[in-house]
């Protein structure tokens, strides 16, 4: 009896993993192909809030801010908010040094996690469109324009970018 229960749990768990990694993506692709419709794009330029969540990112937050500031998007339409999850290093100080360049710090006390930081940043954001990004993710200079143009189609409510991993020997992902 115990053997059959263990075998059942094993096969059920294995099936669930196969579904998550192969079944669901396959079903999503098939449904997208069957129900595809083109998205109408146009060169709209709404106000955009870029929200960066960070915890102890002193090593890379300046590079991230420079990356966002270099996006090909009108500066007067761009708001940059860094939500710091009670960082204990120099992250907040570095972010505050960019305050004269349209960058605002929202400090969340008590290590509440990424979602709480995003919620705190959304509460103070003023953009018509909100772009969520991490401190370690680099954006292509034209990414924001490409993302925003999809919102000219009234049926579009969310847009996701394409994630490309770069072989960087200094990062765990690159290794």
Q: For the segment 90-114, what is each residue's pLDDT rounded down to a tens digit? A: 999 999 999 999 999 999 999 999 9
Q: Is residue 159 part of a domain?
A: no
- Residue 21's domain comprises 1-36
Residues 63 and 6 in one domain: no
Residues 31 and 61 in one domain: no
Residues 148 and 73 in one domain: yes
Q: Is residue 84 part of a domain?
A: yes
Q: Which stretches of the chain drop beneath a pLDDT of 70?
A: 1-2, 168-175
Residues 129 and 69 in one domain: yes
In the chain, the number of structural domains is 2
Q: Is residue 12 part of a domain?
A: yes
Q: Which two tokens stand for residue 63?
A: 């590079």
């Amino acid at each position: 009896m115990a053997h059959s229960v263990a075998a059942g749990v094993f096969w059920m768990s294995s099936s669930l993993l196969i579904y998550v990694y192969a079944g669901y993506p396959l079903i999503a692709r098939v449904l997208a192909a069957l129900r595809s419709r083109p998205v109408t794009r146009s060169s709209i330029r709404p106000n955009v809030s870029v929200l960066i969540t960070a915890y102890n990112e002193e090593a890379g937050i300046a590079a991230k801010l420079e990356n966002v500031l270099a996006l090909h998007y009108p500066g007067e339409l761009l708001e940059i908010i860094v939500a710091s999850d009670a960082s204990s290093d120099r992250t907040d100080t570095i972010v505050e040094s960019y305050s004269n360049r349209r960058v605002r710090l929202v400090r969340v006390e008590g290590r509440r996690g990424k979602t709480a930081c995003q919620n705190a940043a959304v509460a103070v954001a003023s953009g018509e469109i909100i772009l969520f990004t991490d401190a370690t993710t680099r954006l292509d200079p034209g990414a924001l324009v490409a993302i925003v143009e999809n919102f000219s189609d009234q049926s579009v409510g969310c847009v996701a970018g394409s994630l490309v991993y770069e072989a960087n020997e200094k990062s765990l992902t690159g290794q």
